[in-house]
Amino acid sequence: MSLTARTAALLSPLVWRTHARTARRLHAFAQAEHGSMLDMRLAAAATPSAARAAAYLRHADDEARHAQIFAKQAQRAAAAAPRPRALPPVSADSERLFERLGERDFLAFVHHGEARALAQFEAYERYFAAVGRDHESALFSAVMVDERRHSRYTRELLLQLAGDEASARAALRRVRRWELGRLWLRAGRALAERLYVLTMLLVYLLAAPLGLLLRLVRPHRRGWSVAPKGP
Amino acid sequence: MAVVLGISGNYHDAAAALVIDGQVVAAIQEERLSRIKNDAGLPIAAALACLDHAGVDPRAVDRLAFYEDPVAKLERVLVHLLKNMPRTWRAFPRALASQLGVKIWALDHLSESLGVPRDRVVALDHHRSHAASAFFASPYQEAAVLVVDGVGEAHATTLWSGRGHQLDLLASVDFPHSLGLLYAGLTAWLGFAVNEGEYKVMGLAAFGDPSRLRDVFLQKIIHLQGDGSYQLDLACFAHMSDAELGFGPALERLLGPRRPQAKPWDLGDPADRRYADAAAALQSVLEDTLLGLAGRALQLSGARHLCLAGGVALNARANARISQFLRTRGGDAGDGRLFVQPAAGDAGGALGAALLASAELGDPRPPPLQSAALGLPVDPARALEIARHLGLAPRRVDDPCQEAARRICDGQLVAFVQGRFEWGPRALGQRSLLASPRELATRERLNRVIKQREPFRPFAPAVLSQETSQFFAAEPDDLTPFMTTTAPVLPAALPRLRAVTHVDGSARLQTVEAARAPELHALLTGLEGLGEAPIALNTSLNGAGEPIVASAEDALAFWLRHGVDAMIIGDLLLERTR
């Protein structure tokens, strides 16, 4: 069992404990699937091969469907929570991975991501089956059918583009390193953001007298602020 | 003679426009390429696509004009955050991070990303860019220009005088008093997403009774002055302290609690009827305010015609009233005309900035904007190849327009993808979903199955220009080719136009001429030849929450996800087996 699967299995009771947590988690999956859909569509537009474009479009279509399924289930969970609240619409940014990594490494990245998602989803499916939450278990089973196909075809295409097994493995190692680097940068950014917020709050407090002064010297203008020349 | 690239971005609806020797060569919204609705970044892909389409190297760009001044904007943001202490403590770190971390560097970022030397990159004024986008693209040599949006650097509403190459600022109403932010605040209160749900408010308004809440609006929310200007009761709004929420507790005390987001609408429910009444009152007050502003702009400029720009100019119902007002003004001032550029929102700022910079470099004014098809062309050969790999059964047809007409007559939903995609939020026949306007069931099917949107939102008709008066109480004008106005449907035509007639008996019509939209014109002519009215229901080709289709790949992705009956890409036909 991979580290991803072990972690997912270990954390499942915590992650899926309440309706509210379930809703948050499923909504996060919906966002991730939506982001992946965007990347696959951009890849379809960017690849010179019509055959690969078709494969990416099929993949994007699956991701769009997964996003929809997760979002719908998240809404249900949110509505069942003791304090029901509407979840925001599913939206995500593309990481423009094709552009940044090139097609071979993009495929390696997608393959790696699909394999990881599969391991995670298998752990969740087992957990839900064990605790008798059949609806959620069936949801992950359905999604996993596609994930397996994605993992398979991306591996085939990666081998085609890389030329041989060794080059494909090298590409996979490269994207793992790239991903670690991205994780490091993200952690740094998250920390910096928190520090920044604290610093800015301090600046805000120090600027209080300036705020009072501004109210006096620059009051809100009402009506026309450029004097009309006409009658 | 110059190559000028105009850019808008870093707020919402990023776009690029390329003007060469005074001619508009290409104009593209970033969302069409990034596939992120209302993409709020910088439009690097759109800018490169414009240049690539024209075969211009970025180093050959003489001027890159950004549509607003980032430093002036920072000043306004900072001043308002500090003035509204302590309510702004949450917004302050976030706003400054965005301003200092990203927005202030927009010109440098553009220069580096596009490879245009920094000394050729300039920042213009937000409202001047809007005004230029409307006036310089209009058919008028002399006109008043009214710009109404949320806020630029400091102005929220501006009046201009346009003459030839000249644009002179006459008057302004400044932030925080803003019609755009009034509309945004009420959009949020109604449970819709700001910068996206404004069309829904306009559609909803027709279901309400404006008289029920109109006085509340005029006495407590917005005060109209005799000189055409207006003031908001700032206690009702929160845009000075929280850009995301938009309205304040005072508004909820006046109108009731905000409507929960994503709750399904039931206009038979009294609570939802009250929300519809509020939308109707808002629409009515907005129209009155715009009429006052338009009157003032005409008075100050001495002009007969008016150009309208800014996000509020996308309000087709208000445009219809202003247009009527211009036509029926007494004396010499009568017969005035109105023009609204199809991308009147912030995307249009890119076009305005390019046209302003072009004029500054001595280039001539462009000819009046004839067509919104300023994007990238679709590639049917690529679509054919990919479709075959997808296991679809595409086939070429001799006359795609006639084929589409025949299928529409048969009651099919036809996705129609032809030529260059449109500039602005409206599909005008290049990336359209077309159907027969006859049956209400078509509207239901589109709303529920394809668009997944609220049942009260109307669909628009595209009609052969010369046949307009047979079906609508209107004639083609400067707005109708771009679907930026509404007109009453004639009672006799109603049975043939049920799917495109709104509850108030109006329709947001598009008039189609061969010179502006040749394929759609041929299709409508085909419908007429088949004994039908030369009218099609025309809605944008996109799924829920997605930007309109741009490329062949986007079109095929749409085909895979949505149950339309047929798709025609160039001369390529895809059909669903029944």
| Closest alpha carbon to A136 in A127, A145, A148 | A127
This complex has an ipTM of 0.90
Is residue B146 assigned to a domain? no
Tokens of B174: 């400044």
**Quick one: B351 and B336 in the same domain?**
no
Q: Same domain, yes or no, for B264 and B243?
A: yes
Range of the domain at B521: 380-575
B18: CATH: 3.30.420.40
B35 and B91 share one domain: yes
Split chain B (578 residues) into runs of 10 and give each run's mean pLDDT.
95 95 97 94 97 96 98 93 88 87 95 96 98 98 96 95 95 94 93 87 94 95 94 87 77 92 87 96 97 96 96 96 89 81 97 97 96 97 97 96 97 97 97 96 86 85 97 96 97 96 95 96 98 96 93 97 95 90
Distance in angstroms (rounded) separating the CA atoms of residues B48 and B168: 32
pLDDT above 70 (res A230): no
DSSP one-letter string for A207-223? THHHHHHHHHHSPPP-S
In terms of domains, do B453 and B393 share one? yes
| B279-316 tens-digit pLDDT | 999 999 999 999 999 999 999 999 999 999 999 999 99
Whether B169 maps to a domain, the answer reads no
Pick the last residue of a domain from B285, B320, B340.
B340
Q: Are B332 and B386 found together in one domain? A: no
Residue B472 resides in a domain: yes
Confidence of residue A124 (pLDDT cuts 50, 70, 90): very high
Tell me whether residue B496 is in a domain: yes
Considering only CB atoms, which chain B residues are within 8 Å of A212?
85
Residues B87 and B33 in one domain: yes
B464 CB neighbour count, 10 Å cutoff: 24
d(CA A64, CA A48): 23
From chain B, pick out residues whose CB is under 8 angstroms from the CB of A57. Answer: 386, 390, 553, 556-557, 560
Tokens of A117: 């998602």
Q: Please provide residue A129's backbone torsions phi and psi, each rounded to the nearest 5 degrees.
A: -65, -40
Same domain, B352 and B333: no
**DSSP letter for each residue of B16-67:** EEEEETTEEEEEEEHHHHH--TT--S--HHHHHHHHHHHT--GGG-SEEEES
B527 assigned to some structural domain: yes
Alpha-carbon span B389 to B497, nearest angstrom: 40
Residues 6+ apart with CB under 8 A from A183: none
CATH assignment of the domain containing A124:
1.20.1260
* Number of structural domains found in chain B: 3
Nearest chain A residue to B35 by CA distance is A38
Report the number of distinct structural domains present in chain A. Answer: 1
B219 and B178 part of one domain: yes
Q: Which of A57, A99, A100 is the best residue to mutate to test the B interface, defined by the most B CB atoms within 10 Å of its own CB?
A: A57
Domain containing A110 equals 3-199
Q: Which of A204, A223, A228 sits opposite B300 (nearest CB)?
A: A228
The neighbouring-strand residues paired with B306 are B144, B338
Phi, then psi, of B423 in degrees rounded to 5: -100, 125
Task: Please report, to the nearest 10 degrees, the dihedral formed by the alpha carbons of residues B298, B303, B308, B312 taken in order.
Answer: 0
Residue B449 lies in a domain: yes
pLDDT digits (tens, 9 = 90+) for A7-31: 888 888 888 888 899 999 999 999 9
Nearest to A57 among B172, B302, B557 (CB): B557
**Dihedral over Cα of B113, B115, B117, B122: its sign:** negative
State whether residue B269 is helix, strand or coil: coil
Q: Is residue B141 part of a domain?
A: no
Q: Does residue A22 lie in a domain region? A: yes
> How do strand B306-309 and strand B142-148 relate by DSSP bridges?
parallel
Residue A10 lies in a domain: yes
Do B106 and B212 have their domain in common?
Answer: no
B147 in any annotated domain? no
Q: Are B284 and B316 in contact (CB under 8 A)?
A: no
In whole angstroms, what is the distance from residue B146 CA to residue B261 CA?
33
Tell me: do B287 and B384 sit in the same domain. Answer: no
Judge if B283 and B359 occupy the same domain. Answer: no
Chain A touched by B216 (CB under 8 Å): no
Pick the closest to residue B298 from B348, B341, B332, B342 (CA basis).
B332
Check B554 against A201: CB less than 8 A apart.
no
Nearest to B344 by CA among B370, B365, B382, B315: B315
Residue with tokens 């005060």: B223
User: What is the percent of chain A where pLDDT is above 90?
Assistant: 62
Decide if B560 contacts B568 (C-beta within 8 A).
no
Q: Which amino acid is at B403?
A: E
Is there a domain that residue A52 lies in?
A: yes
Residues B81 and B196 in one domain: no
Contact between chains at B299 and A214 (C-beta distance less than 8 A): no
pLDDT digit string (tens) for B351-401?
999 999 999 999 999 999 999 999 999 999 999 999 999 999 999 999 999
User: Please, is B155 exposed, middle or buried when counting C-beta atoms within 10 Å of its C-beta (0-12, 13-18, 19+)?
Assistant: buried
Tell me the β-bridge partners of B377: B420
> Residue A56: enclosing H or E segment and its boundaries?
helix A50-80
Q: Would you call B545 and A228 a contact, using CB atoms and an 8 Å cutoff?
A: no
Distance set, CA B349 to CA B6, B33, B227, B318 (Å): 8, 18, 28, 21
pLDDT of residue A86: 74
pLDDT at B334: 66
What does the buried/exposed string (b/e) look like for B302-328 if buried means 16 or more CB atoms within 10 Å of the residue's CB? ebbbbbbbbbbbbbbbbbbbbbebbee
Rg (CA), chain A: 24
